[in-house]
Amino acid sequence: MLHKEERVLKVNVKETALEHIQDEIIAVGVFEKAKMLKGAAKKIDMLTGRIITEVYGFGDFPGKLYQTQMLYATEGVQTKRVLLVGLGEEKEFSLEKLRGVGATAARFVRDKGIKSFVVPVSFVQTRGISVREKIGALLEGILLGLYRFSEFKSSQKEAGEKRPDTVTILVSDADELRNVRSEVHRTEAIAHASILARDLVSRPGNSATPNFLAQAAKKIARQHGLSCKVLDKKATAQMGMGSYLGVARGSDEPARFIIMEYKPAVRRKVPTVVLIGKGITFDSGGISLKPPNNMEEMKTDMAGGAAVLGTMQAVAAIKLPVHVVGLVPATENLPSGHALKPGDIVRALSGKTIEIISTDAEGRLVLADALSYAPRYKPDAIIDLATLTGACIIALGNHASGIMGNNEKLIEKLRRAGDRTGERVWPLPLWEEYGKQIKSDIADIKNVGGREAGTITAGYFLKEFVGDTPWVHLDIAGTAWTKKDCPYIPKGATGVGVRLLVELLSNWSDVKRETKEVKRKT
């Protein structure tokens, strides 16, 4: 079973005065070291005869970032309780912090067993953040912060089913209402898509098989009006995907090459973007077997594929005016009597021969054939996402995905999208000199370039299968999974890539639209 919609928090939008709203609890933000209260905090302070000012004065609640304080007996407001959430110092404030603040409020409500809460648009008032950005960040934090993967927990209690049912976003006028409604719709679509990706990544390898991913893609396609085609071993063999099938050979689970396509219902010409996600549903390393420590984490080796499925769902749900194709070459990487061996040579779809040095460098092998498949869509850009190298975790840790490519503009666009969404990316070079490391004596190329610059030589390998199309590769090995709880990303699968790509694709179409509008006016 996939993402259960009934488990999802219901989001209402209401136009009611703050003093009249009746609910279990209302959350408001308070800045640290602020001379004056602002927004909803100020309003509640006035309505309650300065209760917040008083608490602030005691020093119990200085408004430190993610600090919480619940107030009772707040006469003057109709909600039963008031929750103060610390915003930290105003000059340090950001949308990323606001996501964390939203998550903090929602988790507080959950931990208290409270079933519904109110968040006013005036929760925080500060310069440089629009109403849309504010609601987007708060709600994203709330929805993603409440996430838990509980499908394999047998008892309800352990599964942590204690969770709020409803959040009400409170707006002050009709104009705001329209804006907030559409932002809520967009944010819900994106958050649900991130959650879908998280669910797929968390799911163990014996459940999330290549065929399971294909079924998930088909279900998304049915629900959101996309097309979906799944190629089996025979079809990919006929096409000549020898690199991808080389990896699949060691596994008894049938390989699935997933193709999803979203065509917007607009008449004008729209850009075409191909997204490719590594879909290794379990990476044992193959004959070049991985050491047993933490090998269970290799169920996450399809996080790139999960991000592509999630992004396809989101772009269809919010109807972006971009033609998007998603490719997920899915297979397990296991050792067996049929498995690829070090020293073997495979022929990729592009015709290039590849000498296998390590069967554990399998991600680049499956991506190579997907990259060669992409040009048939005549894309304006190709973006691949992959948990590709352990070296990327050494280079950037968990705080950024590595980004490489052949087009500076596209890299820059992704960097900006990364900064805006908090799914940050950081560039590494693909200079020609690195190419020498993957020259093979007996084939066209080899799949490992030694220990030095392991992330870059992997990226370079991919580049060899990309033509002139603008292309970027995102190495998400360090960002797809977190061992620690983060403000709005509970420990486990992060769903990385979905928010980043949706942001990129949203602005892509905006840029086009803006330039067109300007042209029309002049």
- Active-site positions read 290, 364
**Binding piece for Zn ion, criterion CB under 5 A, among 13-21, 130-138, 299-307, 504-512:** 299-307
Closest distance to Zn ion from the beta carbon of 205 (Å): 12
Site for Zn ion in 261-280 (CB under 5 A): 280
- Binding to ligand BES, residues 434-453 (CB under 6 A): 448
Partner from Zn ion, ligand BES, none binding residue 358, C-beta < 5-8 Å depending on class = ligand BES
Q: How far, CA to CA in Å, does 59 sit from each of 32, 53, 89, 283, 343?
A: 11, 10, 16, 52, 68
Are the C-beta atoms of residues 287 and 337 closer than 8 Å to each other? no
Asked if 63 interacts with ligand BES (CB under 6 A), we say no
Residue 23 or 362 with smaller CB distance to ligand BES: 362
Establish how many alpha carbons lie within 13 A of residue 6's alpha carbon, considering only the half-sphere containing its beta carbon: 2
Two tokens, residue 497: 């890539």
- Of 164 and 363, nearer to Zn ion (C-beta) is 363
| Cα 359 from Cα 286, distance rounded (Å) | 6
Among 283, 355, 384, 423, binds Zn ion (CB under 5 A): 283
* Both structure tokens of 319: 């109807």
**Footprint of ligand BES on 382-421 (CB under 6 A):** 387-391
Residue 267, both tokens: 């008449």
- Chosen residue from 358, 406, 407, 440 binding ligand BES by CB under 6 A: 358
Q: Which residue minimizes CB distance to ligand BES?
A: 390
In the bound state with ligand BES, the residue whose beta carbon lies nearer, of 176 and 369, is: 369
**Interface with ligand BES, residue 330, by CB under 6 A:** no
**CA separation for the pair 24, 21 (Å, rounded):** 10
Q: How far is the CB of 354 from ligand BES (least distance, A)?
A: 13
DSSP reduced 3-state for 107:
helix
Number of residues near Zn ion (by CB under 5 A): 6
In whole angstroms, the minimum distance from the beta carbon of 194 to ligand BES comes to 19
CB under 5 to 8 A by kind: which of Zn ion, ligand BES, none does 495 bind?
none
**Does 360 interact with ligand BES (rule: CB under 6 A)?**
yes
Distance (Å, whole) CA 451 – CA 457: 9
- Residues 83-122 binding ligand BES (CB under 6 A) are none
Q: Restricting to residues 262-291, which ones interact with ligand BES according to CB under 6 A?
A: 283
Taking a C-beta distance cutoff of 8 angstroms, is the pair 342, 358 a contact? Answer: yes
Q: Which H helix or E strand runs over 51? A: helix 51-58
Provide, rounded to whole angstroms, the least separation between the CB of residue 371 and ligand BES. Answer: 16
Cβ distance 262 to 313 under 8 Å? no
SS3 breakdown of the chain: % helix, strand, coil, rounded to 5?
A: 40, 20, 40
In the bound state with ligand BES, the residue whose beta carbon lies nearer, of 110 and 278, is 278
Q: Is 362 in the site for ligand BES (CB under 6 A)?
A: yes
* Per-position DSSP letters for 246-267, written without gaps between them: HHHTT-SSPPEEEEEEE--S-S
Q: Which is nearer to Zn ion, 122 or 284 (CB)?
A: 284
Interacting residue with Zn ion among 63, 141, 363, 478 (CB under 5 A): 363
**What are the residues facing 330 on neighbouring strands?**
256, 279
Residues 425-454 within binding reach of Zn ion (CB under 5 A):
none
Q: 59 vs 292, which CB is nearer to ligand BES?
A: 292
Integer distance in angstroms from the first to the last C-alpha of the chain?
53
How far apart are CB 247 and ligand BES at their closest, in Å? Answer: 10
| Nearer to Zn ion (CB atom), residue 261 or residue 332 | 332
The DSSP bridge pattern shows strands 323-333 and 10-15 to be: unpaired
- Of residues 301 through 360, those in contact with Zn ion by CB under 5 A are 301, 360
Contact 159, 148 (CB under 8 A): yes
Confirm if 134 and 121 have CB atoms less than 8 A apart: yes
As measured in angstroms, the least distance from the Cβ of 362 to ligand BES is 5
Give the nearer residue to ligand BES in terms of CB position, either 107 or 473: 473
Which tokens in the block code for residue 372? 């060669």
Out of Zn ion, ligand BES, none, what residue 251 binds, judged by CB under 5 to 8 A for its kind, is none
> Could you tell me which stretch among 57-65, 145-153, 358-366, 499-507 binds ligand BES (CB under 6 A)?
358-366
Contacts with ligand BES: how many residues (CB under 6 A)? 15
> Least distance to ligand BES from the beta carbon of 230, Å?
23
- Decide if residue 475 touches ligand BES (CB under 6 A): no
Which of ligand BES, Zn ion, none binds 389 (CB below 5-8 Å, type-dependent)? ligand BES
Listed as own residue / partner, the contacts of 43-51 with beta carbons closer than 8 Å and 24 or more positions apart are 43/18, 43/19, 43/122, 44/18, 44/74, 44/76, 44/77, 44/82, 47/18, 47/19, 47/74, 47/76, 47/77, 48/74, 48/75, 48/76, 48/77, 48/82, 49/75, 49/76, 51/82
**CA-CA-CA-CA torsion sign (171, 176, 178, 180):** negative
Residue 131 and residue 5: Cα distance in Å, rounded? 27
**Closest CB to ligand BES among residues 63, 402:** 402
Instruction: Tell me if residue 275 falls in helix, strand or coil.
Output: strand
**Binding string, 61-90, against Zn ion, x = CB under 5 A?**
------------------------------
Residues forming the site for ligand BES (CB under 6 A): 283, 301, 358, 360-363, 387-391, 448, 454, 477
Residues that bind Zn ion (CB under 5 A): 280, 283, 301, 360, 362-363
